[in-house]
Amino acid sequence: MIIDGKKVSDKIKSELKNKVYKLKEGGIVPGLAVILVGNNPASKIYVKNKQKACEEIGIQSRQYLLDEKTSQKDLLELIEHLNKSTQTHGILVQLPLPSHIDEFTVAQAINAEKDVDCFNASNVGKLILDKSNLLPCTPAGIIELLKRYHIQIQGKNCTIVGRSNIVGKPLALMMLKENSTVTICHSKTLELENFCRQADILISAVGKQKTIKADMVKPKATVIDVGINRNSEGKICGDVDFSGVFPKAGFITPVPGGVGPMTIAMLMKNVICAAELHLSSPLD
């Protein structure tokens, strides 16, 4: 069965619309500031999709499109300005950043309550302790998909391929919180196929097409594909050899139309959550 991330994300966005409406009734217009430095073509598309989602549900989105050569100091000043702005509840700096800018320093500059990506050390620390209000968007989107399709997580073997700070590592923590038994694999893992074959839930977040082939998948497993790659024909594809794996899997996410739209829906959820938190502890 194909997991329809677009359909689920549309449902979530329509649920969130009501929350935005209620916030507006209370005089709060949730606001998201999106900063893009440079001209990375994929980043431009992601930023556009985030803006479109904001418009759909009534969040005010402000875009800051900065030149590739923008200094780290100027970027930090902009973040400081947005940290103080009472109309901005969420701040997102699209990654990757140009090499002269340090991603960690930038993530640390964002006020933790406005860190809707959940990238800064304070929020990652809270995530480990199960105390974070804001959850990282892609991992949260994956768990939401599993829950909405009634796929059992508790007690299941979950293998995650990829150990990035954005997906693999936080996802492992969150699947652990859901009581699955988690294995994290990476580029230096020996005999990757053996770990994959044990998985009831197999999640690939590598960024390399055909990483997961049919003989690596346990029959009836749930296969979640986080990859966004381009194949030799220039078409978007995931990490999973979809046509080979589909007949063997119980559930599988397509690319596009699987995890991607869920990431954006969870970002919207975080912006609204940040605005609600602001209601209970206004900065001004």
Instruction: Please list the active-site residues.
Output: 50, 94, 117
How many other β-carbons are positioned within 10 Å of the β-carbon of residue 7? 12
CA distance 88 to 32: 6
Report which secondary-structure segment, H or E, holds 262: helix 259-280
Binding piece for ligand GUN, criterion CB under 6 A, among 70-78, 86-94, 179-187, 212-220: 86-94
Among positions 95, 112, 151, 173, the unique one binding ligand GUN when judged by CB under 6 A: 95
Sign (positive/negative) of CA torsion 108, 113, 115, 121? positive
Q: Decide if residue 166 touches ligand GUN (CB under 6 A).
A: yes
State in angstroms the smallest separation of the CB of 64 from ligand GUN.
13
Q: Decide if residue 66 touches ligand GUN (CB under 6 A).
A: no
Among positions 137, 202, 216, 252, the unique one binding ligand GUN when judged by CB under 6 A: 137
Q: Decide if residue 107 touches ligand GUN (CB under 6 A).
A: no
- How many residues touch ligand GUN under the rule CB under 6 A: the total is 9
Binding piece for ligand GUN, criterion CB under 6 A, among 67-75, 89-97, 195-203, 237-245: 89-97
Tell me how far CA of residue 102 lies from CA of 63, 75, 107, in angstroms. Answer: 21, 11, 9
**At a CB cut-off of 8 Å and minimum separation 6, what does 14 contact?**
none
Q: Decide if residue 117 touches ligand GUN (CB under 6 A).
A: yes
- Structure-token pair, residue 231: 């194949």
State in angstroms the smallest separation of the CB of 103 from ligand GUN.
9
Which residue from 36, 41, 13, 1 is spatially nearest to 261, judged by alpha carbons? 13
Q: Judging by DSSP bridges, how do beta strands 236-237 and 229-230 pair with one another?
A: antiparallel
Contact 204, 159 (CB under 8 A): no
Q: Decide if residue 237 touches ligand GUN (CB under 6 A).
A: no
Among positions 3, 91, 92, 172, the unique one binding ligand GUN when judged by CB under 6 A: 92
Q: Contact residues for ligand GUN (CB under 6 A)?
A: 92-95, 117, 137-138, 166, 263
